[in-house]
């Protein structure tokens, strides 16, 4: 054994990965995430829930360090509850999505050691459905759709070409589910099940799509990558 061999540092931050997506549609927003939690090449949780409620109609999509983003969500949920009580918000007039997104931005900006890229999305009576990207560093940007995480690299072009103004709820849910399926097929740090949350004036609806469900997007037949997978499987290669 070579005594001069370099031993990997245990103090270095492990590589983490995920895919999170949020899309506005005509009447609300759709949030989606995969469920795989990885530490380097080790999958520590294959059924995690990365869509965290901050209020009844506002949710946070988390990517990066699970511990950091969970801490941010806990603090922001507490601050949002205090804000609602102080201003005496009623169920008919809940806290605004932009207010909660600004709280997430403030937590990110004032704690730059945190490793977490997040998306805040929800519905309020004033601005209706809204999506805010909150990347590492403390920026906040409102978008009609946004993505983050390691798997986002592979689906920027897909969402850019497929998104259009005035999507229906079903079209938005299908778009988010299909984008996640594409990212999960390509990104080794994304996988598991697809979780969707739809928020509109009527309330919040959760949905989980397992890879064995008939409703799971069939990316194998309509993508170049899927064709390559099928070819490898034909020759007996496990993928």
User: Which residues are marked as active site?
Assistant: 18
Strands 42-45 and 28-33: unpaired
Q: Are 124 and 96 in contact (CB under 8 A)?
A: yes
Q: Which residues pair with 22 in a beta bridge?
A: 31, 146
Q: Are 54 and 60 in contact (CB under 8 A)?
A: yes
Helix and strand totals (H; E) in the chain: 5, 12
Query: Backbone dihedral region of 63: left (phi > 0), alpha (psi from -120 to 50 degrees) or beta?
Result: beta
The enclosing H or E element of 228 equals helix 224-234
In the chain, the DSSP E strands lie at: 20-25, 28-33, 37-39, 42-45, 51-55, 58-64, 116-124, 128-134, 141-143, 145-148, 194-200, 203-209
CA distances from 166 to 24, 25, 193, 231 (A): 9, 6, 27, 38
């Amino acid at each position: 054994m070579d005594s001069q061999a370099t031993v990997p540092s245990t103090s270095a931050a492990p590589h983490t990965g995920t895919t999170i997506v949020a899309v506005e549609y005509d009447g609300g927003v759709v949030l989606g995430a995969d469920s795989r939690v990885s530490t380097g090449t080790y999958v520590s949780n294959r059924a995690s829930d990365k869509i965290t409620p901050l209020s009844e109609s506002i949710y946070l999509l988390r990517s990066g360090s699970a511990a950091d983003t969970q801490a941010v969500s806990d603090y922001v949920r507490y601050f949002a509850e205090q804000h609602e009580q102080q201003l005496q918000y009623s169920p008919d007039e809940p806290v605004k999505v932009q207010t909660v997104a600004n709280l997430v931005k403030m937590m990110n900006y004032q704690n730059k050691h945190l490793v977490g890229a997040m998306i805040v999305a929800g519905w309020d009576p004033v601005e209706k459905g809204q999506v805010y990207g909150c990347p590492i560093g403390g920026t906040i940007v409102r978008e009609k759709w946004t993505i983050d995480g390691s798997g986002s690299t592979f689906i920027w072009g897909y969402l850019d070409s497929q998104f259009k103004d005035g999507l229906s709820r079903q079209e938005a849910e299908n778009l988010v589910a299909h984008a996640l399926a594409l990212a999960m097929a390509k990104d080794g740090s994304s996988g598991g099940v697809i979780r969707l949350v739809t928020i509109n004036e009527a309330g919040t609806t959760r949905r989980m799509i397992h890879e064995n469900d008939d409703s799971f997007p069939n990316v194998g037949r309509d993508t170049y990558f899927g064709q390559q997978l099928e070819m490898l499987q034909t020759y007996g290669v496990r993928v």
